[in-house]
Amino acid sequence: MNTQTQPAENKMGVKPILPLLLSMSLPSMASMLVQALYNIVDGIYVAHIDPDAMTAISLAGPVQMLMISMAVGTGVGVNSLISRRLGQKNQRDANAAATHSLLLAVFTWMGCALLGLFFTETFFRFFSPSERIFNYGVSYLSVVTVFSLGLFLQVACEKIFQSTGSMLTAMLLQLTGTVINIVLDPILIFGLLGAPKLGVRGAAIATVIGQVVAGCVGLAILLRGKKVAVQVSFSGFRWNGRIVKEIYAVALPSILNQSIGSLTAVCFNTILMSFSPNAVWVMGTYAKLENFLFMPLFGLTHGILPLTGYNFGACNRQRMRETQRYGLLIGCAMMAVGTLVFWLFPRQLLGLFAPTEELLELGVPALRTISICFPFAAISIVLSTVFQAVGKGSYTLWISLLRQIIVLLPCAWALSFLGLRYVWAAFPLSNLFSTSTCVLLMRRLYRTYIDPILDGAAAQIA
């Protein structure tokens, strides 16, 4: 036998699951922690400009969430397709998926840029804010939408690398953009080192510069093609509707899933504005702190998704189940620690953002109440990643609909009649219900979809 013709076995199919999961997840977890740290630092800088500036950024948050959901959701579809095709040894489709993802990133950016150009002011007027909040918000959001091409290219490249197990390269891109943001933020916000003092617009400019640089680095690595398990090439390129359909079979539910969060944030902010802008400040501050806690969990899913997808494509039931089990154990342990921190140190966490005593009085019970849901959220996030990995992203969509629309918003609205303190209880209630549903769906998925496929493959081999 000519052993030179045999492709090297992918590590996702042979190495022990726990150390492999950790080795694939830790780079993403570390880089996303740094990225989350940037969001906190950015919030601290903005909060020191003016509390109204922090409120404006909080109102702009859902639009940024929407852009990220489109970028990450499409990337999840690409990640799932590439990892499954690599598991099936179908290199041609894996390459095609990677090439198409870059074009999809450009098309998505064009749509977001047009919306940001023509509808930013309309969006902020919806909340009937003060003129200061309106001006801060428009100044910030117009920049991060119109100049968001770097965001979409960066995420597309990261997901391609993650799908092949190249977690260190994905981490490099995340760190590149984040470090540039952290360095440029104070310079452009406060006018240091001879730079103009741009305030909240400076924060936006620092963000897009970091994204553009990271996106360019990712493109350079991909197009060079060395030591990358997929090849990106536009030479003789032809649009393949089948590939795009397979990408969006997973990506569209993921996009809708994450976009639901944007819609929920808009509706939730509307409820909070009926109390006061200070309530929106609390929600925006909590979101930045929560982001720091949840980013490592999402980094963990960057290892879970390709590992599960690869071994599903390779019909290896044992490795799939091991990945899921370790993912749940690690995720729940991380979130339990997070709940403990939010309960013991809420004043210290909020104190990072220069709050008044009134803001602390509103924020402390909010942090303690919402944090109850963290372990439940970990279960939902890990199991939803498994849904995506096996090509059933619609399950993830239904879970998010339950948690963020069907349960959360009606609960928040009803509890608002009792007072602001009770509104925060909508979070643990909705997470408890959606997590229970998620577990039931996972059992059904194994019984009706995963097990029949794997049993059929085993029968063919026998």
Instruction: Write out pLDDT tens, residues 370-406.
Output: 999 999 999 999 998 888 888 777 788 788 888 888 9
Please give the Cα distance from 7 to 5 (Å, whole number).
6
Mean pLDDT of 173-200: 88
CB atoms within 10 A of CB 329: 13
The two three-digit tokens of residue 130, written as one number: 């003060």
The residues near 297 (Cβ < 8 Å, ≥ 6 apart) are: 331, 334, 335, 378, 381
Q: How many CB atoms lie within 10 A of CB 9?
A: 9
Place of tokens 């997470």: 431
Is the pLDDT at 436 greater than 90? The verdict is yes
So what's the pLDDT on residue 6?
44
Do the Cβ atoms of 66 and 108 come closer than 8 Å? no
Predicted local distance difference test score (pLDDT) of residue 460: 66
Predicted structure pTM score: 0.72
Task: List the structure tokens of 196.
Answer: 């103009």
Q: Cα separations (Å) of 216 from 71, 93, 192, 230?
A: 16, 24, 26, 18
| 165 or 72: which leads in pLDDT | 72
What long-range pairs does 355-360 form, CB within 8 A, spacing at least 24? 355/281, 355/285, 356/51, 358/278, 359/51, 359/278, 359/281, 359/282
Tens of pLDDT along 210-229? 999 999 998 888 888 666 77
Cα distances from 237 to residues 97, 245, 283, 370, in angstroms, run 12, 17, 46, 49
Q: Which amino acid is at 189?
A: I
pLDDT digit string (tens) for 132-174? 889 999 999 999 999 999 999 999 988 888 877 777 788 888 8
Window from 213-217, 256-260, 347-351 with minimum mean pLDDT: 256-260
Q: How far is CA 347 from CA 25, 282, 335, 338, in A?
A: 31, 12, 19, 15
Q: What is the mean pLDDT of residues 347-363?
A: 87
Distance of CA 372 to the CA centre of its chain: 21
Neighbours of 5 (CB within 10 A): 6
Task: Choose from 130-134, 138-142, 244-248, 276-280 the range with maximum mean pLDDT.
Answer: 138-142
Q: In the predicted model, what is the mean pLDDT of residues 32-60? A: 81
- Cα pseudo-dihedral 325, 396, 27, 156, rounded to 10: 150
pLDDT of the residue at 113: 93
pLDDT tens per residue, range 290-308: 888 888 898 898 888 888 8
Question: Distance from CA of residue 14 to its chain's centroid?
Answer: 28
Q: How many CB atoms within 10 Å of residue 318?
A: 10
- Least confident window among 65-74, 87-96, 154-163, 237-246: 87-96
**Taking Cα atoms as reference points, which of 81, 145, 59 lies closest to residue 108?**
145
* Mean pLDDT for the chain overall: 85
Domain boundaries, the chain: 14-457
pLDDT of residue 225: 64
